[in-house]
């Protein structure tokens, strides 16, 4: 099983080695800012790419949280598209396997169809040098990827785009649980819609099922049934990123917890 964690961007290679991880995920810059990606690694983008390849470590980049290409608000959607392209370019430069981006949302008074179509337009407008992995989210009645039917409508909308084959899916277990999607069937449900799961964010949840709260917990320390959480990972059969609390020691404990159950 390929397993790793979300880590600090300064030295992802050292972070991976400290955890005995075969992959890491990180931000390139401030996740709450429109400034654009920054490469904090001392060797720059080319150095990070070369060092990761030499160490056999796969890199994944998480796009800023503020990216919302679905919204009808031009002051958010247009900068979001620009930021998406910038992060695709930067992630490709370091040799990342994919760029994870949240599904976004529309405003309460908006027709959700506008959000689905805005996703199509974003895919068509972006030069996808690497796969963009759309992630399910935990909360919001007007979210594009909280509920399975909405995920289906996003996929329907982008399926006709020229680069549709470069769009994948990232399944977050905490988000699925908190979003009200049954973990017993979520892998089969998502595969029926998207045909693929490219990455799993394996996180326990501090909150109850369908709470809408995005609060991650260490594996086995939250509200998700341990056997069910392990079953999702087994069924998805994809690389795993733990976005759980703590540093290297806590992440190693999460890896061991999961491996024991698989």
Question: What secondary structure does DSSP assign to 28-49, as a single string?
Answer: SS-TT-SS-----STTHHHHHH
Q: Is position 103 within any domain?
A: yes
Structure tokens that stand for 101 in this block = 């981006």
Q: Is position 136 within any domain?
A: yes
What pLDDT is attached to residue 171?
A: 98
Q: Is position 246 within any domain?
A: no
What pLDDT is attached to residue 141?
A: 81
Separation between Cα atoms, residue 130 and residue 92, nearest integer Å: 6
What pLDDT is attached to residue 119?
A: 98
Q: Is position 253 within any domain?
A: no
- What is residue 24's three-state secondary structure? strand
Separation between Cα atoms, residue 232 and residue 252, nearest integer Å: 20
DSSP code for 63: P
143: containing domain: 3-240
Domain CATH for 209:
3.20.20.150
Q: Is position 258 within any domain?
A: no
Q: Is position 96 within any domain?
A: yes
* Alpha carbon of residue 71 to chain centroid: 19
When divided into structural domains, the chain yields a total of 1
- Specify whether the CB–CB gap between 226 and 220 falls below 8 A: yes
Q: Share the mean pLDDT of the chain.
A: 97
Q: Is position 116 within any domain?
A: yes
Q: Provide the pLDDT confidence category of residue 228 given band limits of 50, 70 and 90.
A: very high
Q: Is the pLDDT of residue 205 over 90?
A: yes
Structure tokens that stand for 195 in this block = 């045909």
Q: pTM of the prediction?
A: 0.97
What pLDDT is attached to residue 140?
A: 86
Q: Is position 247 within any domain?
A: no
């Amino acid at each position: 099983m390929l397993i790793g964690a979300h880590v600090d961007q300064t030295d992802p290679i050292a972070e991976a080695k400290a955890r005995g991880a075969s992959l890491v995920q990180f931000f390139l810059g401030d996740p709450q800012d429109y400034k654009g990606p920054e490469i904090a690694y001392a060797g720059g983008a080319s150095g990070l790419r070369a060092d990761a390849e030499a160490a056999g470590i796969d890199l994944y980049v998480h796009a800023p949280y503020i990216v919302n290409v679905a919204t009808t608000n031009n002051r958010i959607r247009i900068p979001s598209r620009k930021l998406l392209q910038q992060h695709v370019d930067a992630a490709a430069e370091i040799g990342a396997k994919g760029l994870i981006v949240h599904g976004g949302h529309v405003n309460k008074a908006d027709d959700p169809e506008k959000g689905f179509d805005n996703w199509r337009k974003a895919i068509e407008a972006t030069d996808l040098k690497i796969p963009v992995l759309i992630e399910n989210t935990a909360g919001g009645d007007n979210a594009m990827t909280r509920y399975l039917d909405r995920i289906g409508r996003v996929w329907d909308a982008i399926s006709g785009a020229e680069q549709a084959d470069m769009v994948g899916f990232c399944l977050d277990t905490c988000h699925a649980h908190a979003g009200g999607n049954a973990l017993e069937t979520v892998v089969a449900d998502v595969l029926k819609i998207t045909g693929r799961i490219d990455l799993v964010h394996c996180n326990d949840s501090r909150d109850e099922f369908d709470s809408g709260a995005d609060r991650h917990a260490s594996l086995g320390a939250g509200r998700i049934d341990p056997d069910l959480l392990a079953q999702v990972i087994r069924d998805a059969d994809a690389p795993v990123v733990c976005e759980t609390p703590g540093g290297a020691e806590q992440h190693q404990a999460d890896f061991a917890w999961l491996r024991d159950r698989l």
